[in-house]
Amino acid sequence: MTTRLLFLTKDPEIGRIAERAGVDWIFVDLEYRGKSDRQSGRDTVISAHSIEDVVAMRAAITTAQLLVRVNPLGEWSREEIDGAIDAGADIVMLPFFTTPGEVEAFVTMVGGRAKACLLVETMGAVDAIEEILAVPGIDFIHIGLNDIHIERQTRFMFELLGDGTLDMLAAKIRPTGIPFGIGGMARIGEKIPPRRRSLPSIIGLAPRA
């Protein structure tokens, strides 16, 4: 099993520090549509990154891969995906989808110009995981604990690690050979790691056949 470390930041200097510390992917987050509403009243981080931040990060890092999360699929998606790739994204992430059709449209828009990463964070996506995995062109899968936790109205974000949900997803994803992971790393009781230690904010687990 290979472990990839991801770090969420729009600051080029922090990106360089994380890269030197061994972080594999630097994560710039362009998602904003609907996120404030569905996470309203919760102690979550909602990024305020821009396409200019993608350009700046591309110029700052040399060995780490640049991951860019766009908005959920919509009429804006082709422009956003094209913009992220033109700005230098190595990997484009699709959040908050529910159907195989959305995944197919996303992969088609990426068109092999970058790696296509899915963020599985709805119960619709969980329930349709077998059909989603049948879509050609998926390079990575990340399982988003927070939004699944919100939709399920569970008391604890990590419950799906103990109730069999994650085991079920892993059992279905692993035979495809698609690297997949979950994430979240900071001090206990805090959302953001201390900058001076340059700790990754997300852990990506990538099993290999």
Q: What CATH code is carried by the domain that includes residue 81?
A: 3.20.20.60
Q: Domain total for the chain?
A: 1
3-state secondary structure of 68: strand
Q: Percent of the chain, pLDDT > 90?
A: 64
For residue 173, CA distances in Å to 5, 22, 55, 71, 108 come to 20, 26, 33, 24, 21
Instruction: Measure the CA dihedral 99/26/137/203, to 10°.
Output: -70
Strands 202-206 and 2-8, sheet pairing: antiparallel
Q: Is the pLDDT of residue 18 over 90?
A: yes
3-state secondary structure of 69: strand
Least confident of 20-29, 111-120, 146-155: 146-155
> How far is Cα 104 from Cα 198, in angstroms, rounded to an integer?
36
Q: Which helix (H) or strand (E) holds 56?
A: helix 51-60
pLDDT tier at 54, thresholds 50, 70, 90: very high
**In this predicted model, what pLDDT tens digit does every residue of 123-161 receive, in sequence order?**
999 999 999 999 999 999 999 888 788 887 887 777 877
For residue 175, CA distances in Å to 84, 180, 183, 204 come to 30, 11, 21, 18
The answer to whether the beta carbons of residues 91 and 117 sit under 8 Å apart is yes
For residue 137, CA distances in Å to 27, 54, 67, 153, 155 come to 21, 23, 17, 32, 35
pLDDT tier at 95, thresholds 50, 70, 90: very high
Amino acid at 77: S
Domain that holds residue 100: 2-206
> How far is Cα 98 from Cα 120, in angstroms, rounded to an integer?
8
Distance from the Cα of residue 40 to its chain's centroid? 20
Assigned token pair, 32: 């904003």
Rg (CA), the chain: 16
Assigned token pair, 145: 């604990």
- Over the chain, what is the mean pLDDT? 85
CB neighbours of residue 36 within 10 Å = 10
